Amino acid sequence: MSDIDQILLAKDRLSGHVRQTPILTSRFLDEIAGRRIFVKAECLQHTGSFKFRGAWSAITGLDSHVAKRGVIAFSSGNHAQGVALAAQLNGIAACIIMPSNAPETKIRNTRALGAEVVLYDRETESREVVAEHVNLGRGLTLIAPFDDPLVVAGQGTCGLEIAEQASDLGVSNADVLVNCGGGGLTSGIALALEAKAPGLRARPVEPEEFDDVTRSLRSGRFERNTRKSGSICDAIVTESPGELTLPIMKRLCGPGFVVSDDDCLQAVALAFAYLRIVLEPGGAAALASALFHGNEIDSEDAIVVATGGNVDPGIFRVALDRFYP
Amino acid sequence: MSDIDQILLAKDRLSGHVRQTPILTSRFLDEIAGRRIFVKAECLQHTGSFKFRGAWSAITGLDSHVAKRGVIAFSSGNHAQGVALAAQLNGIAACIIMPSNAPETKIRNTRALGAEVVLYDRETESREVVAEHVNLGRGLTLIAPFDDPLVVAGQGTCGLEIAEQASDLGVSNADVLVNCGGGGLTSGIALALEAKAPGLRARPVEPEEFDDVTRSLRSGRFERNTRKSGSICDAIVTESPGELTLPIMKRLCGPGFVVSDDDCLQAVALAFAYLRIVLEPGGAAALASALFHGNEIDSEDAIVVATGGNVDPGIFRVALDRFYP
């Protein structure tokens, strides 16, 4: 179970460790969107994405004798770095299982944050088998990327901040657009808003061909994606929604948005020009939906969660070359 | 005269209009620098630079019958946009005299912020003569880029925020490195720190060949630069320090830093990778001094003011191509 009480407990554990990220605005973006857009810049969070929240929440929520044996996680990117830093700051070991073809920078950064990185071949090896082997006799605790109540509670603290910041800004009626992979952040934010800002409604945003959550919300069943990789929005590509997260999203979220790769690249370029923040394509999908799919937005205002900024410079250059305004 | 009382008055006028910008950190940057670095991200300010502070302060500090006639400014970039937005939000006219070869984006953005833009030919025309002609019979008030007590007071509000944020972070002894053109921001911050955080000391940072303030602080006289343009750090290129600002800097600031264009480009790339913010080269000079000139820093910690992020995408690409870590 995940609920607001768990989020409030996670907030206490995160206090003084997480960065309260700012809400940014630009009248140029408002003009393109035809409404006010408020961008919650989670790319400015520690390790460059919201993932640090869930990782910290999960690690500090473990019993201390369990935590001290260390943690293990699968990830090629943002979750890896969030878990690595949270573990290091809590003085425990982290082992991250990463695909050997993950970007060199991400592998290097995860190692530099003190984690033991174990590489596996995505084509020929099962990461679960690799993890089991690595974990023999060690008792490392798995920190799941989204389907874990402590992780959802940590991500929900972002929703608490949004509720408070929106209130300060006088925004009481808005769609809150969230880049969505497995739904940990989306469901956490939805729970926080239900309790603290009922006029704000979370809505998941996904890339084309990886719209499992949008389709699941529509059909009411767990839908899967046919493809497993191949989106430039790698940070929000998952096979299907979480067992824990989908029921929450079904109960609380509005319909999903589906955006194209080009929409996301254009949003990356516009965030560069008008907000001066660095987004990865998967961190810019929600901004893209606000800018280019405004007719699907139900509320007066839009709050966009810009979830991450760990982008390959090659992709970033493509975004600027093609879409700088 | 500029003093802390004027800064506190400016703070009141700016309250609810200026964005309190966050302090960002990265252990990767700390490692390169060999000390803790705290980055005050003024690139996230409205219009992408600290200039909005001084512009708002100056405009709201005018007598209302003077203000309603409108304002005029010379600028090819950040000051232009700061004045344009501040004027528009206060419901008064702004006329900005810009060189005709200023970047197209900056001209377009300044116009989009409601300003009347008058272009002049930098080679054949005097901007002062153009301004006089434009202003005939209109009574527009000149908003100077730095040598104006109201402008210095507005920039000083950035120093108030630094004093408070440093205290929250437990930083009581630090060099505060400030990208420096005419010295409006540097002297404003220095005055704020003198009053509110005496363990923090402002130090100007300038690009090679445009180090008029550094040389003036050394000689005690007003030194001038030989060249007038040609730095990639265009935002902080001025001919000489201000009459108002130099005495303040002489009294309160530590020695200046001089950084190379390559230092700045490298800092741009590192801020992209590790802070996920967009900086222009002149907005990254202070970060460059903290990263690459650490032996000239006197204090334990360094606070860096990242002053602006209005960068041409071509220059940004060069920074990534050459210096992405």
Going by their DSSP bridges, the two strands B94-99 and B71-74 should be labelled as parallel
| Contacts (Cβ under 8 Å, ≥6 apart) of A147 | A182, A184, A242, A243, A244, A245
B182 neighbors B238 (Cβ within 8 angstroms): yes
- Residue of B276, B310, B318, B322 to mutate, interface with A, max A Cβ within 10 Å: B276
Among A27, A105, A276, select the one facing B48 at the smallest CB separation: A276
- C-beta pairs of A87-94 under 8 Å, 24+ apart in sequence: A87/A55, A87/A59, A87/A114, A87/A115, A88/A113, A88/A114, A88/A115, A89/A17, A89/A56, A90/A56, A90/A59, A90/A60, A92/A59, A92/A67, A92/A68, A93/A69, A93/A140, A94/A70
The chain A residues in contact with chain B (CB within 8 A) are: 19-22, 24, 27-28, 31, 41, 43-44, 48, 105, 109, 112-113, 272-273, 275-279, 309-310, 313, 316-317, 320-321, 324-325
Which single residue is written with the structure tokens 């005269």? B1
- Is residue A318 predicted with pLDDT exceeding 70? yes
pLDDT tens across the length of chain B (325 residues)? 689 999 999 999 999 999 999 999 999 999 999 999 999 999 999 999 999 999 999 999 999 999 999 999 998 789 999 999 999 999 999 999 998 888 777 888 999 999 999 999 988 888 889 989 999 999 999 999 999 999 999 999 999 999 999 999 999 999 999 999 999 999 999 999 999 999 999 999 999 999 999 999 999 999 999 887 778 988 888 889 999 999 999 999 999 999 999 999 999 999 999 999 999 999 999 999 999 999 999 999 999 999 999 999 999 999 999 999 9
- Residue of A276, A307, A316, A317 to mutate, interface with B, max B Cβ within 10 Å: A276
* Residues of chain B contacting residue A41, judged by C-beta atoms under 8 Å apart: 44
Q: DSSP class of residue A140?
A: P
pLDDT at A1: 66
Q: Which residue of B has its CA nearest to A273?
A: B310
pLDDT at A261: 96
Q: What is the ipTM of this complex?
A: 0.96
**CB distance B313–A320 less than 8 Å?**
yes
Among B20, B27, B324, select the one facing A313 at the smallest CB separation: B324
| Min Cα separation A178/chain B (Å) | 19
Among B22, B31, B44, select the one facing A276 at the smallest CB separation: B44
| Min Cα separation B219/chain A (Å) | 37
What distance in Å separates the CA atoms of residue A116 and residue A94, rounded to the nearest whole number? 6
Among A24, A275, A317, select the one facing B317 at the smallest CB separation: A317
**CB distance B276–A313 less than 8 Å?**
no
**CB distance A112–B325 less than 8 Å?**
no
Question: For A157-170, what is each residue's pLDDT tens digit?
Answer: 999 999 999 999 99
A304 neighbors A33 (Cβ within 8 angstroms): no
* Residues of chain A contacting residue B165, judged by C-beta atoms under 8 Å apart: none
pLDDT at B92: 97
pLDDT at A126: 86
| Min Cα separation A247/chain B (Å) | 33
| Three-state DSSP class for residue B136 | coil
Q: DSSP class of residue B61?
A: T
Question: For A18-29, what is each residue's pLDDT tens digit?
Answer: 999 999 999 999
pLDDT at B230: 79
Of A316, A235, A210, the C-alpha closest to A49 is A235
B108: Cα within 13 Å, side-chain hemisphere: 8
A224: Cα within 13 Å, side-chain hemisphere: 4
Q: Tokens in use for B159? A: 């120093």
Q: Is A133 exposed, middle or buried (0-12, 13-18, 19+ CB in 10 A)?
A: exposed
pLDDT at B251: 98
| Min Cα separation B132/chain A (Å) | 31
| Min Cα separation A276/chain B (Å) | 5
pLDDT at A236: 87
**CB distance B313–A324 less than 8 Å?**
yes
Q: What are phi and psi of B301, to 5 degrees?
A: -110, 165
- Is residue A122 predicted with pLDDT exceeding 90? no
pLDDT at B76: 76
Q: In what order do the strands lie in the sheet with A71-74?
A: A116-120, A94-99, A71-74, A141-142
| Min Cα separation A22/chain B (Å) | 7
What is the 3-state secondary structure of B66-104? HHCCCEEEECCCHHHHHHHHHHHHCCCCEEEEEECCCCH
Q: Tokens in use for B24? A: 């960002």
Task: Extract the runs of DSSP E, i.e. beta strands, from chain B.
Answer: 23-24, 37-41, 71-74, 94-99, 116-120, 141-142, 174-179, 200-207, 257-259, 301-306
| Contacts (Cβ under 8 Å, ≥6 apart) of A57 | A10, A13, A14, A150, A151, A153, A154, A155, A157
| Three-state DSSP class for residue B115 | coil
Strand partners for A206: A258
Query: What share of chain A has pLDDT > 90, as a percent?
Result: 87
What distance in Å separates the CA atoms of residue B23 and residue B41, rounded to the nearest whole number? 6
- Is residue A123 predicted with pLDDT exceeding 90? no
**CB distance A105–B325 less than 8 Å?**
yes
Question: For A54-67, what is each residue's pLDDT tens digit?
Answer: 999 999 999 999 99
| Min Cα separation A182/chain B (Å) | 24
- The structure's pTM equals 0.96
pLDDT at A231: 85
Which single residue is written with the structure tokens 């002149």? B282
pLDDT at B1: 67
What distance in Å separates the CA atoms of residue A125 and residue B134, rounded to the nearest whole number? 72
